Every structure is written in structure tokens, then in C-alpha cells.
Amino acid sequence: MKLVLIPTKLDSIARELLEAKGIRVIQDADTPLEELAAAHPDATGLIVRSNRVTPEIIDLLPKLRLIVRAGSGYNTIDIKYARRKGVDVMNTPGANANAVAEEVIALILAYYRHIVRGDLTTRAGGWEKKKLMGRELAGKTVGIVGLGNIGRLVAKRLSGFEVRVLGHDPVISQARAAELGVEFASLEALFAEADIVTLHVPETAETKGMINRSLLSKMRSGALLVNCARVGIVDQDAIRAVKQEKQIGYCTDVYEADEPGLKSCADIADVMMPHLGASTIEANHNAARRAAEQMIAYAERGVTKYVVNKGVPDDLDESYQQLAFEVARVARSYLGAERSIRQVEASFYGGLDRFAKWLLPPIVAGISTEFDTQQDPEDALEYLEQMGVSFDVRTADERKGYGKALTVDLVAGGDDTARRASVRGTVAEGTIVISRMGSFDRIYFQPRGHSLIVEYRDRPGVLAKITAACAERNINIEDIRAPRDPSATRALAVLKVDQPIPSEVVAQIKRETDALAACALSLP
């Protein structure tokens, strides 16, 4: 690295560490990034916070080798275009986690003890002591949705308050949750039992609007919802409706845009903060130090551990990475989102075993919305270890003649209550297809789009009930696969439909057919 641009008010430790290595640094938070890049086309490194790094900016820096996001999220950086230009992109996961975890505690206490109103009215000369009767956190039940870096720290910070902690995460094992002092719960049970629910999941196609009216209506009267994650995971209209019914509280730190102006949730939020989750001196220092240290390690020793847009080997067709993702996502849905995974097993056929490490990140991304398909294989293994999930690559039996295919098995529950979801897929004529689910072979359905999967005890009339339930909701069926297992005692219905299937419809179908398993799946 010869010249690094820092177009943000990042802690000075980043500049100091880089300059100590003889690297020239230009830190300028006042000049727009476009102008800064145009003025310094010889820059080889870029450290950003919330700055948008577009293809136009990357093109202005022809010698750029590395972009580091001083923080975890990197959705403001066009990582795919950077890859095409040979530019690596890193983040600094966990650097801001404690700051956000502490903000969650602060918001809970501010709401419970009327800190904001108490300050404003007392400062104005009032004395509303009788009106501001508060509540204590001790003895309450707190539900944590998402047990990644931040969620785990929230659990740890709550330990001194003598609370019961429930947790839900699509990946974490029950054993790992127990080590954190967390009781694993389904999402529905968590919302029904918790006095306080705090959200710590990313916003993706799968999580957008996940906190809907159905979940919110399960909350106790007077319960509190805290959102320091992403605005899109919550249905704000649902909060409006349920708030009137049950007087639930809502504290938030996230909005559609980080900018001045009226906020769409102002009428329903009891405490609002201007996205201050990572805005602490310590978090800024940690992120700055990590960004500089990673850049130095990259320049001096070629360390690429935190690169989030790594390419793949030239002889690996990228469609097989997408296959790994989709097979894992189908397996995750088939297993049941409420089940806690303890083991992941994979088999790679037709020479794909040579690329096992490159296929691991998309597998992990398929079972967890917190993980990105572009992340490093070592990051994937570390993530699974943190969540208490084991990973094994089985020796593939090439005599089965599957060609280039892969199988992902997910195991949940204890030894006596274990449930396994096994899914195999391949790429046929450039199209990803699922060829086997559990004991149901030769299915050959395309997982893209919207699907409904129902496993049931084989008997006449079940398929008619499933299609009738779809018809009641004006859900059009585009394709049906209905294989039986070798014992002819169970059947599987895989329906391709024209729109997402609401969770209440899935529940209705499962109830009316006495299904062994039922899930809806949507893949772009």
C-alpha cells in the first residue's frame, strides 16, 4: 500500500498505524468521496464507514487494491463490481457489536424508567413523579431474535439483571445456546412468552417483514419490542395495529434512510435514536484499529481472512456455488426454521470435492441469513464453531453415478430426538434442480421462485386439500411434483406457485392434512 484514502471521521488510530508503516494517508471527511477519488487516482487503499462506493468511484481509482469497511455491514459497497476490477473488499465484523448491545440495554431501561420524558418534564420545571411509575428489568423474560455477535453480547450483558433469556436463531445449536445462558425457543414461542423482544438479524429477502402482525399479536399486553437491527425486518403497519390492541412498546434506532427528516415510525416509537448503535468512542476506535491492522496484514503478508468478495478457482463453475446455497436453503426450510441445528454434513460428487472449501460459505449462507455467500471459507468454519455447529465432509461414493452433484444434511435435536433433513441437487443444462429430499428421489424441481413443500402420510385426498387451500387464497399452481417414498407409506408434494405463501396458509395446510412437515420457500 502506498496511498490510502479515508473519507470519513474515523478514529485517528487508523491513520497513525498506517503512517507508522510508511503508508501515506489522506483523511478528509469534508470533501465528497467522488472529488477525493478524482484528486488522488493513485490511491491503492480505501477505508470507509457509511460512504457509498459505487462503480464510478472504483473506476476513478485504477490502482485500487483493497477497500475496508470499518464495520460489519458492506451493503454500501458494490462488491461484485469491485471483484470484476480485481479489488478486494473487507469488513471488520464484531468491532461495533458491544456498542450496539449496550444501546439495547440503554433503550430498555430508558423505556422502563421513562428516562426521556422524565428529563424533559423535569427540565421544564414539572414534577411528574406520580405519572412516571416505571418497571424493573429484573425477573422479566427477554427474547433475542438472532444470536450472532450482537445477540450473544446482549445475552451476556443481560446476565447481571437476573432475567430469563429466550433465544431464536436458525443455526445455533441448543448446546451453544445453553452455554450462553439462553433457552432456545421457536419464534412464535419467543414472542408469546417474552416481556421484551430485541431484534438482531440482517435485512434480506427472507427476513424482510418477518416481524409481522401474526407474530406481534402473540406478544403479551404491555410487552416491548426493540429494533437496533434493520428497519425492513419489521412491518410498521402491524405495529400500529397491535399497539392499539395490546399497548406494546417500540424502541428503534433504524430507519429507511440515515438522514434528517420526519420518520415513518414517529407515531409508533416510544423511544427513537438517530442510528447511534455503533456511535461510541470505543467502537469507532475498535473499527478504525481493525481496519488499519487488516490493511497492513493484507499489504505485508497477503492476509485475506476478512475479504467478503473473494473469487472462485478458475475451473469451478460459479453455478455450483449457487447450487450449494440453494440446496442448503431448501434443507433449512425442510428441516423447519424453528429447529436448532447441531450438525451440517455435505457430500460432493463428480470432482466437486476439490472445491469443498469454496462451497462451504454458500452452504452456511443457505442456512443462516447472517452469513454472506462471498465470505471466506475460514469465516464460515469460524461462524459454525461460534454457533456450536459441527461440519463434516463425507467421502462421496462415485459408484452412485450422480455426476456433478452435492448433498447437504442438516441435523437438529439430541441423539434421542434427532431430525435430519437431507437434500441433493445438481446443475442440469445450466439449471439448478433438486433431485432428492430425504427418501424422496428423482424429484427434479427448480427451487427458484415460490414453492410449497408438504410431507404427509400417503392416503387419497391429501393433495386435493393442499391445492384447495392454495385456491382459496388465489395462489396459482404452476407445477406439482408428488413422489412417494420406497415404503409407499409417505408422500411428498412440491408445488411451484406464482406468489409467496403466507405462514398462516402453511399452518392451515399442515393442520388440515396432518402433515409430517410443511414449509414455504422463496428464492430469487
- The answer, yes or no, to whether residue 312 has pLDDT greater than 90, is no
Is residue 416 pLDDT above 80, yes or no?
A: no
pLDDT digits (tens, 9 = 90+) for 60-79: 999 999 999 998 878 789 98
Predicted TM-score of the model (pTM):
0.80
pLDDT at 168: 92
Grade residue 309 by pLDDT with cuts at 50, 70 and 90: confident
Q: Which of 172, 111, 77 is CA-nearest to residue 388? A: 172
Where does 97-272 sit in CATH, by number? Answer: 3.40.50.720
Q: Which pLDDT band, with edges at 50, 70 and 90, does 257 fall under?
A: confident
Residue 340: band (very low, low, confident or very high) from pLDDT cuts 50, 70, 90: confident
* Domain residue spans of the chain: 3-94+281-301, 97-272, 311-438, 449-524
Average of pLDDT values for 128-143?
A: 96
What is Dmax (Cα atoms) for the chain? 83
Mind spelling out the 3-state secondary structure of 415-484?
A: CCCCEEEEEEEEEECCEEEEEEECCEEEEEECCCEEEEEEEEECCCCHHHHHHHHHHHCCCCEEEEECCE
Contact predicate 388/172, CB 8 Å: yes
| Per-residue confidence band for 474, with pLDDT thresholds at 50, 70 and 90 | very high
Highest mean pLDDT among 23-32, 170-179, 399-408 belongs to 23-32
pLDDT digits (tens, 9 = 90+) for 388-402: 999 999 988 888 888
Highest mean pLDDT, choosing among 12-21, 85-94, 338-347: 12-21
Q: Is residue 206 over pLDDT 70?
A: yes
Q: How many CB atoms lie within 10 A of CB 45?
A: 27
| Fold (CATH) for 449-524 | Alpha-Beta Plaits (3.30.70)
Please give the class, per CATH, of domain 311-438.
alpha beta
Do 311-438 and 3-94+281-301 have the same topology in CATH?
no
pLDDT band per the 50, 70, 90 thresholds, residue 268: very high
Q: What is the pLDDT of residues 433-468, one digit of tens each?
A: 999 999 999 999 999 999 999 999 999 999 999 999
Q: Which residues pair with 166 in a beta bridge?
A: 143, 183
Residue 345 has pLDDT above 90, yes or no: yes
* Domain 3-94+281-301 coded CATH 3.40.1160.10: no
